[in-house]
Structure 1
Amino acid sequence: MPRQSKSLSALPSQTLAPLARLGERLRAHRFQREWTVAEASERLLCSPTTLRALEAGKPGTSIGLLAHALWLFGEIDTLDALAPAPSGLTAQRRVRRSASRPVAGTIAEDERDF
């Protein structure tokens, strides 16, 4: 029996229903394409048991597998709509870069000895 992490067992009940609905939508996409669990899991490079867990909305399934499934069903763009960043935070923000690390694609002073 696999170990369950403490974070998964502490999930609020409000998170389980949306995960179950997401799994139902993924199952609907599979049914629309008339793929069996075996066919879809082969395409997703996972076991049938893992695919069933994803379709059941089990919170322990990999987010990478979810992204792969969305891509397979032609819905990967919907992932961008998940939890958009607050507009006030992203509009005027600059990313700090370490002064010790050079910017990619630039030539350092000690390399200019030609």
Structure 2
Amino acid sequence: MSRSSHGLSALPSQTIAPLERLGLRLRAHRVQREWTIAEMAERLLCSPNTLRALESGKPGTSIGLLAHALWLFGEIDSIDGVAPAPTGLAAKRRVRRSAAQQGTAGVIAENERDF
């Protein structure tokens, strides 16, 4: 029986071509560096078959593996351009307070009693 999930088989056809193009670009980077599939797979700490799946644009390939490949090629910053946050959302972002600002665990500070 195949290990693919039902979710992956139901992907819209519009998602397949961009994944395949991404895989081809990754392959071009590997070929430019004259790395074999075995060498690249060793650098990525994955099997050659998993690398082939990544280069083929298979949707079930790990996003972590993709990020690792981009890092190896010096292209990790390009991942920041994927699905940028809407500008309105970024302005309303919550900021987490540091541990020093939080005080004692389980105790409500005076500045938090605004209800």
TM-score bucket of the superposed structures, by smaller chain: 0.7 to 0.9
**Structure 1 runs not aligned, ≥5 long:** none
1:54 aligned partner, one-letter code:
L
1:25-104 equivalence runs, <5 A:
25-91=25-91, 93-95=92-94, 103-104=98-99
Shift of 1:96: 7.4
**In percent, how many aligned pairs have the same letter?**
71
Aligned residues: 105
**Structure 2 runs not aligned, ≥5 long:** 107-115
- Specify whether residues 109 and 38 from structure 1 end up closer, same or farther in structure 2 by C-alpha distance, changes over 3 A only: closer
1:58-77 deviation line (CA, Å, top 9, x unaligned): 00000000000000000000
Question: Which residue of structure 2 aligns with residue 105 of structure 1?
Answer: 100
- Cα root mean square deviation, aligned: 2.0
Matches of 1:22 and 1:109, distance apart in 2: 47
Using structure 1 for the length normalisation, give the TM-score.
0.84
Question: Which residue of structure 1 aligns with residue 109 of structure 2?
Answer: none
2:79 aligned partner, one-letter code:
L
Shift of 1:103: 4.7
Instruction: List structure 1 runs of 4+ shifted beyond 3 angstroms.
Output: none
